[in-house]
Structures are given as C-alpha cells and as structure tokens.
Structure 1
Amino acid sequence: MPVIVCYAPTNEATDETKNFFYSALEDSFCFIRPADFIICLGDFNAVTGVDRCMLVVVGPFGSGSPNDNSDRSLELCAFARLRVCESWFRRKDIHRLT
C-alpha cells in the first residue's frame, strides 16, 4: 500500500512554486499500480469548499471557502482517483478543521 506524505506550498507562494510541487506530486503517481490502495497524507493548505462540482472527489460534507490551492488539490485528486476523506462523514465543525 503506497503512502505519500507531502506538504504543499502556502497560498502566498508563487504560481511557479505551486505548479512545480503539483507536477512533481502528479509524477509520483505514475510509479503506483492502478490497483493499489493509495493513502496521501499531509497539509495541502487547501479546503474542499461546499460546492459539489467535484462529486467523485468531495463528499456531501465539504467545508470552508475554496482558494487557489483548493482548485489545484482537487484537480490532483481527480487525476489520481483520490477522495477527500473528511468530506464524506458528518462531523461537528470543531472536529472538521484540525
């Protein structure tokens, strides 16, 4: 079971830095077999938002207001067939954003 741990650049980072990070992260998925169960942990400096435009990635309980990092993170999840776990379960707000 592949485990990927990463920390994305903050929202204040340049677009060049963010593009490099997400490109490198995308490349790492090329080394993983399609049948593997992937766990991707870390701080993506992003929130899912409550918009349900990414139904396959974000569950019914998304949170927060999306930013530039949110778009990049959700696009990566769609590319790698990942799901944002926190958005699939109802939780109290105090436990949602840790």
Structure 2
Amino acid sequence: MRPEVQTFVADGPLPDGDASEEEIDRRDHQLAVICRPVTPEEAAALAACFGPDDCYGVAWTLVHLIETAPGSVPQWEDPGPEAGYWAEVLRARWGGGLTASTA
C-alpha cells in the first residue's frame, strides 16, 4: 500500500460536519494527493474510512477514489453502523462487493 494511502487510512474515519474547516481541508488534501487508480487492496482499506455524514462532500471524493480500483469489485468488511449510508452507497454502486463484518 502506498504511503499516502496509509497516511489517510491511519487517520481513521472522516470527521463529521461539525469538524473544523482545517480538519476537513486536511482530509480533503490527503485524498487529493493519492494518485489514481488505487489498487483493490487500497480501495478496501479506504472503504473503511467513511464517517457519519458526507463531510461537506469529502465522502463523495472518497467514493470516486475507491471506484478507480481496476478489475473486479474489491471485497471489504462492512464498517458497521457508523458508515451505514456509505456502505449502502458502495453496495449499490458495486453491486454487492461488500462482505459482512466478523466483529
């Protein structure tokens, strides 16, 4: 996994809309520096980084980045109720490439 993807993933889920403008800009910039396409492994790791809302559109940037992964739909674990909406978005767009969480 490339360092810029590791950095984004290590910072955890996107913040909610109550986060500071600086934090939202920082996370948006982290996504902007990730060269497209991502690998299926990177897409799976990124899919676990959705937060509770759209983070002023940053979540949609994340969706579009994940979708650049070549080949078949990556398999990833359901991130749980925190990211329920975003898991549903990816399920709908990928046609079911989501696996149930084992936690």
TM-score, normalized by length of structure 2?
Answer: 0.43
More helix by share: 2
More strand by share: 1
- Structure index of larger Rg: 1
TM-score, normalized by length of structure 1?
Answer: 0.44
